[in-house]
Amino acid sequence: MRIKLAYSIIVSLNKRLLYLLQDGRVLKTYPVGIGKIVTATPTGSYKIINKAPNPGGPFGVMWMGLNKPHYGIHGTNNPQSIGKLVSKGCIRMYNSDVLELSKIVPIGTTVNIRA
């Protein structure tokens, strides 16, 4: 019998880092870009509700939508924006990182966004 591993994500806005956790332990850390002051990334607990490869526009190679409408974790066609306050509230990742993450975490994964 195979044991199902529990994944979760924590996003630290002040550190501009996304932590992938497996059974409560940090498995991987990724740098991210976050919302501008005027369009700040919302804090709270959310879930990934969908995944869309190659969504077009500024979303890079992958979109993972959250259960807060219009917000998600996505790639970027502007890699210089990672680590900065640049988005309209979404979590931006390098395209290679968001592809890696999207292959690991299933739909339903909890995403805790913290100040």
Catalytic residue annotation: 74, 90
> Residue 102 falls within a domain, yes or no?
yes
Residue 100: how many other CB atoms lie within 10 Å:
15
> Residue 14 falls within a domain, yes or no?
yes
pLDDT, mean of residues 85-104:
97
For the chain, how many structural domains are there in total?
1
When pLDDT is cut at 50, 70 and 90, the band that residue 3 belongs to is low
53-82 pLDDT, tens digit per residue, is: 999 889 999 999 999 999 999 999 999 999
How far apart CA 57 and CA 76 sit, in angstroms, is: 9
| Helix and strand totals (H; E) in the chain | 1, 10
User: What pLDDT, on a 0 to 100 scale, did the predictor assign at position 115?
Assistant: 95
When pLDDT is cut at 50, 70 and 90, the band that residue 18 belongs to is very high
> Residue 104 falls within a domain, yes or no?
yes
Selection from 56, 65, 57, 58 nearest residue 102 by Cα? 65
> Residue 2 falls within a domain, yes or no?
no
> Residue 45 falls within a domain, yes or no?
yes
User: What pLDDT, on a 0 to 100 scale, did the predictor assign at position 59?
Assistant: 94
> Residue 20 falls within a domain, yes or no?
yes
Beta-bridged to residue 72, according to DSSP, are 65
Alpha carbon separation from 39 to 25, 34, 61, 63 (Å, rounded): 31, 9, 23, 19
Selection from 71, 22, 32 nearest residue 50 by Cα? 71
Average pLDDT, the chain: 95
> Residue 56 falls within a domain, yes or no?
yes
Identify the domain containing residue 91 by its residue range.
Answer: 7-114
pLDDT, mean of residues 42-56:
97
Q: What CATH number does residue 41 fall under?
A: 2.40.440.10
